[in-house]
Structure 1
Amino acid sequence: MRYLFTSALLFISIFSFSQNIPSKDVQIKTAILAAPEAQRAEAKVYGYSSSGDFITLREGTNEVICIADEPGNSGFSVACYHISAEPFMARGRELKKEGKGFQEVFDTREAEAKAGTLKLPDSGSLLNVMTAKLEDVNWTTREVANSYTRSVVYIPWATSESTGLPTGPAGPGLPWIMDPGTHRAHIMINPAKD
């Protein structure tokens, strides 16, 4: 009896989890919202299987890779980035899957980049991240209301001195450099709020 009860709970948990993962089509349509409109149709898209595995949902034919919203997050977040960032992003996903936290992921990739074993994004490559509250996502129509998109331009090893950029936000809509002097140096561009 106990075995049957445990099995039933496991089945319900798996069934509930799979019910929270949008269809392949919905994942693709919402993931590409973070890409510039002209690049969406040919972008490669990663997302999640019905069992929650990270998979390729669609192969791409251009230089853009998009990632669907991760099931179980407290909010909605999708991202699209230049193909040159794929080794960097894939390594980050691998380290997180191993249970490593932000600082350990940062330190590992920093060491690997310095050793020349991790290919970094091309200088000037773009990453866009679109976020919203879950209640602002209509999974049926694939529309997202009240979204916020921030952009990042990778410039590995760059500094404030080499770019002239401040190391913190200088005002609404103005760029600044984050993680200067590291493998993860990037220009942050937060749009001015209306």
Structure 2
Amino acid sequence: MRTPLILSVSLLLLAGAGAAAAQEDDAKLIKSAESAAPQALSSQAAIYAMNDKGEMRTLREGTNGWWCMPDSPATPGPDPMCGDANSMEWAMAWISKKEPPKGKVGFMYMLEGGTDASNTDPYATAPAEGNNWIKTGPHVMVVNGMDVMAGYPDKADPDTSQPYVMWPGTPYAHLMIPVK
């Protein structure tokens, strides 16, 4: 009779430990996500985490219309980001390889930087011949604003210390503006 009780108590303890670990992991993800934008904005933003299948999980509901996502463990360095509602529509179009919404310019923060990415291939996951791998420090982005990008450099190998167009010639072209 004591064995089932001991087993039940052990399972409850394990479940409690798992829940505590998940809360601690979520707290780390929220802290990472909040680092992408000014605290006054990120502390009130919805926080989402994406799994390796591109599915979103809400870590915290927001109150100001902005969203943030933590650093992606699939990338070599920190890349948390925050944005407005229009930028989320743009980002979801990019992630799902669909056309971005028309007429919806968005704004995003990446104050931790975007450590490594191809400047020409929106889906590159590692440096390769011709995909122009770059490093970008802390920056903000204007997405889905083709008119805003007129006159900014759109070379494959930009000077990332100055404003430039990332992913030029693709539907996901956006203006990168360094902030430090």
TM-score interval for Structure 1 and Structure 2 normalised by the shorter chain: 0.5 to 0.7
Contact (CA 8 Å) 1:82, 1:127: kept in 2 or not?
A: yes
TM-score, with length taken from structure 2: 0.58
Contact (CA 8 Å) 1:159, 1:177: kept in 2 or not?
A: no
The answer for the alignment partner of 2:147 in structure 1 is 158
Unaligned runs of 5+ in 1: 1-18, 96-104, 114-118, 134-146
1:127 corresponds, among 81, 102, 108, to 108
4+ residue runs of structure 1 moved beyond 6 angstroms?
none
Q: Work out the CA distance in 1 between the residues paired with 2:72 and 2:144.
A: 27
The answer for the alignment partner of 2:119 in structure 1 is none
Q: Work out the CA distance in 2 between the residues paired with 1:183 and 1:72.
A: 23
Distance change in 2, residues 1:74/1:127 (3 Å): same
Identity, % of aligned positions: 26
The answer for the alignment partner of 1:177 in structure 2 is 165
The answer for the alignment partner of 1:64 in structure 2 is 66
**1:17-75 alpha-carbon deviations (Å, 9 max, x no partner):** xx8996111111121110122201210101268xx974110111113211112345433
Amino acid paired to 1:122: K
Structural RMSD (CA)? 3.6
Deviation at 1:180, TM superposition (A): 4.7
Distance change in 2, residues 1:76/1:38 (3 Å): same
Q: Work out the CA distance in 2 between the residues paired with 1:47 and 1:84.
A: 18
Q: Work out the CA distance in 2 between the residues paired with 1:172 and 1:73.
A: 19
Contact (CA 8 Å) 2:67, 2:82: kept in 1 or not?
A: yes
- Find the residue that maps to 1:153 and give its secondary structure: strand
The answer for the alignment partner of 1:6 in structure 2 is none
What is the 5 A alignment of 1:1-194? 23-47=25-49, 54-93=56-95, 95=96, 105=97, 109=98, 112-113=99-100, 119-120=101-102, 122-123=104-105, 125-129=106-110, 130-131=112-113, 148-158=137-147, 163-168=150-155, 173-180=161-168, 182-192=170-180
Q: Work out the CA distance in 1 between the residues paired with 2:141 and 2:90.
A: 14
Q: Work out the CA distance in 2 between the residues paired with 1:132 and 1:158.
A: 24
Contact (CA 8 Å) 2:144, 2:172: kept in 1 or not?
A: yes
Unaligned runs of 5+ in 2: 1-20, 116-135
Amino acid paired to 1:151: V
- Find the residue that maps to 2:35 and give its secondary structure: helix
Distance change in 2, residues 1:27/1:122 (3 Å): same
The answer for the alignment partner of 2:11 in structure 1 is none
Deviation at 1:76, TM superposition (A): 2.8
Amino acid paired to 1:174: Q
Q: Work out the CA distance in 1 between the residues paired with 2:172 and 2:42.
A: 25
Higher helix share: 1
